[in-house]
Structure formats: structure tokens, C-alpha cells
Structure 1
Amino acid sequence: MKIFAKVVIAVLLYLVFLLVLLPARVVVALAPLPAGVTLAGVSGSVWHGSADSVVVDGLQFDQLQWQLSPWGLLTGRANVDFQLGNASTAVNGKGSLSLSSSAIKASGLKFDAPVAFLAGKKQLPFRTVASGDISLFVQQFDQGKPWCEQLSGKAFLNNIGIKNQFGQYPLGDIELSLQCIKGQIQLATDDEKNKLGIAGTLLLQDNMRYQLNGRMKLTEQQPADLQKALPLLGKADNNGFYPLKFSGRF
């Protein structure tokens, strides 16, 4: 009986060490990845590993590193700390994710990328070409229906420029706050947080629908093409604000 117990303990220890040292590339080869996601140059273990690149819906992110906590698995959640790139790369990010079969939670997220990278090969309306950078900071995100249960954070649009068939629009810097409103993601700004005289909210609703409810006034910092186009938005109110109201689907 003692011999049997020793054999069982030895086998269990072997399985534990095998799991701890399980190469990440083996897991990637055996486990199916979500559609549109590929990994290349995988190394390390499933608990602490890296990949030279990860492609998500045609966008390639380089230098992915992750650390998976084994203790969270005991409660049915996968708790992962990750990092993309580094401070010297144009595209970089880091944060903590908590994944379960029903929801995703995130905290301490930071992400920086050029607008041109995020646009990828997509054809924007009116032959639009966008430039600048986006910085995203998310303190807390809890997935819900249709999008969120909780969201707090900020987005900074830095040195944004738009060029299309109507003209060139150097828009400058825009600060947006992120909130969850009845399950919908809300981006909000006011005319003190940008040089464009824009104030209002953009709601991301279910089925990729959006609703913009805002206003814009004439400012000295606006590009000339934009100043000329303001009357096309409608009649200004008593405070000089033109209406900004659009809805549609991405």
C-alpha cells in the first residue's frame, strides 16, 4: 500500500511539473485560436511566455509577452498580465485581463498606436486619410450587454489630421472620457478639452450602431476649411454652437 501511494504521488508530481513546463508552442499548436487570430514565434511556457507577433483581423502586433496565474484557474478564471512592444515601439500596450466562460474583465490597460496603423487597409469614406496617434487608458472594464457593465478611462487623440476630397483638417489634440451608460460605451468631450470647439457624446450601441449628439462652435484654432463648412451643419444657437447629430452603423 505504501508503494502504491508513493507511485501515485510520483505520478502526480510528474504531471504537475509537466503542466508547469508545458511549452506554449505546443498549446498553440493543439488548441484552436479564435477566428482571425494567429501567433508566430511562440516561446516559453503557457504560464510565462512570449510571441514574436500576433495578428488580429489583419493587424499585426509585435513582441507579445504574457504571464498567466495558475491560481485563478481554480476559480474558473484565467488571469493574465500582458505587454505588447515597449516604450520605443510605435504600437505598444500593457494591462491585466481576467477571462471566464461568460465575461472579460480588464484593468490597468494602456495602449498607444498610430491612427494609420489602426485604420489598416480599410477604405475610409470620401477617400479620407487620417494621421496622428491614439493613447488609450482604461482603469476598469467589465464586459456586459451589449458592451459593458463598468467602464472608466480616457482616450487621447494626439496631433490628429484629416485629409479628404473636401480639404485638409489639422484637428490637433482631443481628450475623451470613457464611461459605460446602460451597457453602451460612451465617449465624451467638451470644448475646453480640444481646440475645435466640440462638445458632446458618442454612444456605441448594440449591432455596431452609433449615435453622435454634440455641438461645435467657431474657434480661431480651427482650420480654414472647417470654419467654412460649419454653416453646413445647420443654424447656430444663441451661444454660437452648430448642431452635431449623426447616427449610423460602423
Structure 2
Amino acid sequence: MKRWWLIAVYLLALLVMLPAKIIYWLPIPAQVSISQVSGSLWQGRIGSLQVQGVTLNDMQWDWQLLQLFTGEVAVDVRVPPQNNPLAVNGRISAGLTELAATDLRASGDLATLLQLANTRLPLKTQGNWNLSIDTFVVSDPSPAKWCNQLTGSANGRNIQVLVNGAWQSLGDFPVALGCAESGAVTLTMNGENSLGLAMQGDINSQDINISGTVRPNPRTPEGLAQMFQYLGQPDSQGRYRFSL
């Protein structure tokens, strides 16, 4: 029995000491490129990571050895804000059937996020965003099941849109994140913003359901308020309804 423990410790030590450059031997998707890899497989650094034309510099990881004794693997990931279009910092862990994230923080510019998501908005938009995930857990994940537990928030900050050739400032748009019984991620916005935008929605990889209202207020840019008429007639409270 003691011999098997020694073998296990030896194999674990061998794995820890493997150079991070072993990543170069792994199959990498065509839209992803990496360079300047250093450190070990257990604790290393990628000097430059390019995904869909977006370059991230100085990405670092640190696997948590003690988590193995709890039956799961966990890694701390960090992309610093310096010289990067987005920043990430947090812990991701996985068991046999469960994936989790703890104290995950991310932020960046909106243009980069839209590029990574391959998404275009009706109006040219710029600004920043941040994401804060306190707790995230999903068991037996699937295209329709994205979460079992989720506590967090997202925020679009200093958002601007181009209307009639001029940039209009819209301010911030905070969103509360949660988890529906169906396993979809829920989005909630309370309407306290420059567009009077309030919404409820849920999203997974198979479906997006979002419904809500916009209501012009004194903070709504005039040119943008005039566009609301294309949503139809307002209700008795001046709200225009929409659904996606």
C-alpha cells in the first residue's frame, strides 16, 4: 500500500513539474493562437493569447493542489488590466459532474466583448462593462442547463451610442444575474437608467427570452427618444414594450 502512495506522489510531482510549453503539443482551435508560454503546467503564464482577433497579454494560471484531496480540480486564473482590452480574476473548479466559479471578476471595453460574442447592436455603441460572480455552480451542464446556482451582477458603464452623427451619453446599465429553475441564466434590469429600460429575461445556448419596456425620461437623449416610436404605441404610463 505504501508503495502505491509513493508512486502516486511521484506521478503528481512529475505532473506539477512538467513545463507549461507542453501546451504547444495540444490541439488548439484555428481561431486561437498562443505564444511566449513559460512556467510549469501547474503554475504558468501565456505571454500572448489571441482569440477571434482579440489579443490578451500576460495570462496566468495557478492550479490549487490541495483541492485534489476534496475530489475536484481548481485553478486561479488572472488576466491583468494593464495592456489588455479586458481583465479576469477568479477561481474555477470542477468535479466529476459539477463546474463552479468563485469570486470571479471581469471587466473590459464593450467593443471587445461584442467582438468575442460575434454580436452587432442596431446602433454603434461604445463604453465599458464589468462582471462580478460571487457564486456559480452547474451540475451536469448541457446546452439548455447553464446553472444550478448563480449570484452576481453585470454592469454596462459609461455607455454611449451614435445618433445622427453625434455620440450620446447614456450612463450605466446595471443587471442582476440569477438562475432559473429551468437552469437558464436570468437577467433583471430595474429601469433606473437613462432609457427607463426595464427587463426580465433568461438565456442558454438554445434560446434567449427577453421582454421589457423603455420609457423616455429627462435623461434620455432627444434623438434616441424619437426612435422609440418604432416600437409601437406607448401604454398609459408612457412605456414602450419589446420582446426578443
- TM-score class, shorter-chain normalisation, is 0.7 to 0.9
Give the CA deviation at 1:218: 1.7
Instruction: Give me the CA root mean square deviation.
Output: 3.0
Secondary structure of 1:235's match?
coil
Give the CA deviation at 1:68: 0.3
> For the structure 1 residues 101 and 164, does the alpha-carbon distance in structure 2 shift closer, same or farther, using more than 3 Å as the test?
farther
- CA contact 1:167–1:225 (8 Å) conserved in 2: no
Correspondent of 2:115 among 117, 120, 134: 120
Residue 159 (structure 1) aligned with residue 158 (structure 2):
yes
Single out whichever of 174-183 and 30-39 deviates more from structure 2: 30-39
Give the CA deviation at 1:148: 1.3
- CA contact 2:56–2:85 (8 Å) conserved in 1: no
Secondary structure of 1:154's match?
strand
Secondary structure of 2:191's match?
coil
Single out whichever of 65-74 and 162-171 deviates more from structure 2: 162-171
Give the equivalent residue in structure 2 for 1:65. 60
Structure 2: how far apart are the matches of 1:166 and 1:243?
Answer: 27
1:1-45 Cα offsets, whole Å, 9 max, x none, are xxxx99x9998776554333211112x133434674443211111
Structure of higher CA gyration radius: 1
Single out whichever of 13-22 and 143-152 deviates more from structure 2: 13-22
Single out whichever of 76-85 and 132-141 deviates more from structure 2: 76-85
One-letter amino acid of the counterpart of residue 213, structure 1:
S
Single out whichever of 149-158 and 56-65 deviates more from structure 2: 56-65
Structure 2: how far apart are the matches of 1:167 and 1:196?
Answer: 17
1:42-76 Cα offsets, whole Å, 9 max, x none, are 11112211111223344322211111022333555
Structure 2: how far apart are the matches of 1:12 and 1:155?
Answer: 43
Give the equivalent residue in structure 2 for 1:216. 214
1:105-143 Cα offsets, whole Å, 9 max, x none, are 1110111110111223857255x4220001110111123
Give the CA deviation at 1:79: 0.3
Give the equivalent residue in structure 2 for 1:107. 102
Secondary structure of 2:223's match?
helix
Give the equivalent residue in structure 1 for 2:169. 170
TM-score scaled by length of structure 1 = 0.81
TM-score scaled by length of structure 2 = 0.83
1:185-219 Cα offsets, whole Å, 9 max, x none, are 11111122x22111111321342x32221111120
Give the CA deviation at 1:93: 1.5
Q: Percent identity?
A: 27
> For the structure 1 residues 164 and 16, does the alpha-carbon distance in structure 2 shift closer, same or farther, using more than 3 Å as the test?
same
Gaps of 5+ in 1: none
Correspondent of 2:19 among 23, 28, 36: 23
One-letter amino acid of the counterpart of residue 142, structure 1:
V
Structure 2: how far apart are the matches of 1:157 and 1:163?
Answer: 16
Secondary structure of 1:120's match?
helix
Residue 233 (structure 1) aligned with residue 234 (structure 2):
no
One-letter amino acid of the counterpart of residue 88, structure 2:
G
Secondary structure of 2:58's match?
strand
> For the structure 1 residues 34 and 78, does the alpha-carbon distance in structure 2 shift closer, same or farther, using more than 3 Å as the test?
farther
Secondary structure of 2:148's match?
strand
> For the structure 1 residues 89 and 125, does the alpha-carbon distance in structure 2 shift closer, same or farther, using more than 3 Å as the test?
closer
Structure 2: how far apart are the matches of 1:113 and 1:80?
Answer: 22
> For the structure 1 residues 241 and 22, does the alpha-carbon distance in structure 2 shift closer, same or farther, using more than 3 Å as the test?
same
> For the structure 1 residues 195 and 45, does the alpha-carbon distance in structure 2 shift closer, same or farther, using more than 3 Å as the test?
same
